[in-house]
Structure 1
Amino acid sequence: MRVFPRRTRRPGAGGHHQVLFVLAECVPFVIALAVLAIEFTPAHFLYTGPLLIATPALAAVTMGPRGTLAAVILAVAVSVATATYNEAWGSDQVYTNFLALTLVSLASVATSSAARTRREIELDQVRRIAVAAQEAVLRPVPARLGPVRVAGMYLAAETGAQIGGDLYEAVQTRYGVRAIVGDVRGKGLPAVRAAAAVLGAFREAVHYEDDLVDVVNRCEAALRRDAAVPGVIDPEALVEGFVTVLVAQVPDAPVVEVVNRGHPPPLRWSDGRVDALMPASPLPPLGLEEFITGPRGRTESYSFLPGDRLLLHTDGVIEARDSGRAFFALPEAMTQLEPRPERGPRDFLDRLHQDLLRHTDARLVDDAAMILFDRVDGADAAGAGPGGQTVRPQ
Structure 2
Amino acid sequence: MLVIELTPAHFIYTGPLLTAIPALAAVTMGPGGTLSAAGLALVISTTTATYNQAWGTLQVSTNFLALALVSVAGFILSSAAQARKQSELDQVRRIAVAAQDVILRPVPDRLGPLRAASMCLAAGTGAQVGGDLYEAVQTPYGIRMIVGDVRGKGLNAIRAVAVALGAFRQVAHYEDDLVEVMDLCGAALRREVAVPGAYDQEVRMEGFTTALIAQVSDEPVVHLVNRGHPPPLLLHQGKVQALMPASPLPPLGLEDLITGPPGKPETYPFEPGDRLLLYTDGVIEARNRDNEFFPLVEAMEAAPALAPTEFLEELHQQLLRHTEGHLADDVAMILIDRLHDGTGT
**Do the two structures share a fold, i.e. TM-score over 0.5?**
yes
1:105 aligned residue? 71
Q: Tell me the secondary structure at the aligned position of residue 184 of structure 2.
A: helix
Task: Tell me, in whole angstroms, the C-alpha distance in 1 between the residues paired with 2:292 and 2:75.
Answer: 45
CA displacement at 1:272 relative to structure 2: 0.8
Return closer, same or farther for 1:160/1:110 CA change in 2, 3 Å cut-off. closer
Q: Does 1:127 align with 2:90?
A: no
Q: Tell me the secondary structure at the aligned position of residue 130 of structure 2.
A: coil
When the two structures are aligned, how many residues end up with a matched partner?
A: 344
1:52 aligned residue? 18
Alignment of 1:294-305 (within 5 A): 295-305=261-271
CA displacement at 1:357 relative to structure 2: 5.8
Task: Select the residue among 342, 359, 370 that pairs with 2:333.
Answer: 370
Q: Does 1:38 align with 2:1?
A: no
2:305 aligned residue? 340
Return closer, same or farther for 1:240/1:77 CA change in 2, 3 Å cut-off. closer
1:213 aligned residue? 179
CA deviation digits over 1:75-126, x for unaligned, max 9? 3343344333323234332333233223322321221222132123212212
Residue 181 of structure 2 aligns with an amino acid whose one-letter code is V
1:222 aligned residue? 188
Task: Tell me, in whole angstroms, the C-alpha distance in 2 between the residues paired with 1:289 and 1:99.
Answer: 67
Structure 2: unaligned runs, 5 residues or longer: none
Q: Does 1:311 align with 2:277?
A: yes
Task: Tell me, in whole angstroms, the C-alpha distance in 1 between the residues paired with 2:36 and 2:250.
Answer: 55
Return closer, same or farther for 1:172/1:81 CA change in 2, 3 Å cut-off. same
Q: How high is the sequence identity, in percent, across the aligned residues?
A: 67
Structure 1: unaligned runs, 5 residues or longer: 1-34, 382-394
Q: Tell me the secondary structure at the aligned position of residue 144 of structure 2.
A: strand
Root-mean-square deviation over aligned CA pairs: 3.2
Return closer, same or farther for 1:39/1:266 CA change in 2, 3 Å cut-off. same
1:65 aligned residue? 31
CA deviation digits over 1:248-270, x for unaligned, max 9? 12234443232223333322112
Preserved CA contact (<8 Å) 2:18 2:41:
yes
Preserved CA contact (<8 Å) 2:131 2:152:
yes
Alignment of 1:231-310 (within 5 A): 231-233=197-199, 237-238=203-204, 240-292=206-258, 295-310=261-276
Q: Tell me the secondary structure at the aligned position of residue 202 of structure 1.
A: helix
CA displacement at 1:224 relative to structure 2: 1.4
Most deviating of 320-329 and 127-136: 320-329
CA displacement at 1:235 relative to structure 2: 6.2
Task: Tell me, in whole angstroms, the C-alpha distance in 1 between the residues paired with 2:284 and 2:236.
Answer: 20
Task: Tell me, in whole angstroms, the C-alpha distance in 1 between the residues paired with 2:290 and 2:80.
Answer: 43
Preserved CA contact (<8 Å) 1:134 1:162:
no
Task: Tell me, in whole angstroms, the C-alpha distance in 1 between the residues paired with 2:288 and 2:61.
Answer: 57
**Higher RCO, 1 or 2 (CA under 8 Å, sep at least 6)?**
1
1:83 aligned residue? 49
Task: Tell me, in whole angstroms, the C-alpha distance in 2 between the residues paired with 1:231 and 1:117.
Answer: 31
Q: Tell me the secondary structure at the aligned position of residue 165 of structure 1.
A: strand
Task: Tell me, in whole angstroms, the C-alpha distance in 2 between the residues paired with 1:236 and 1:128.
Answer: 24
CA displacement at 1:247 relative to structure 2: 0.9
Return closer, same or farther for 1:171/1:226 CA change in 2, 3 Å cut-off. same
Return closer, same or farther for 1:303/1:366 CA change in 2, 3 Å cut-off. same
CA displacement at 1:55 relative to structure 2: 1.9
Residue 217 of structure 1 aligns with an amino acid whose one-letter code is D
Task: Tell me, in whole angstroms, the C-alpha distance in 2 between the residues paired with 1:124 and 1:85.
Answer: 49
CA displacement at 1:162 relative to structure 2: 6.4
Task: Tell me, in whole angstroms, the C-alpha distance in 1 between the residues paired with 2:4 and 2:98.
Answer: 56
CA deviation digits over 1:300-319, x for unaligned, max 9? 44332332110112344445
Preserved CA contact (<8 Å) 1:131 1:162:
no
Task: Tell me, in whole angstroms, the C-alpha distance in 2 between the residues paired with 1:73 and 1:294.
Answer: 65
Preserved CA contact (<8 Å) 1:148 1:375:
yes
Task: Select the residue among 45, 61, 72 that pairs with 1:95.
Answer: 61
CA displacement at 1:172 relative to structure 2: 3.2
Most deviating of 317-326 and 158-167: 317-326
Return closer, same or farther for 1:261/1:42 CA change in 2, 3 Å cut-off. same
Most deviating of 46-55 and 62-71: 62-71
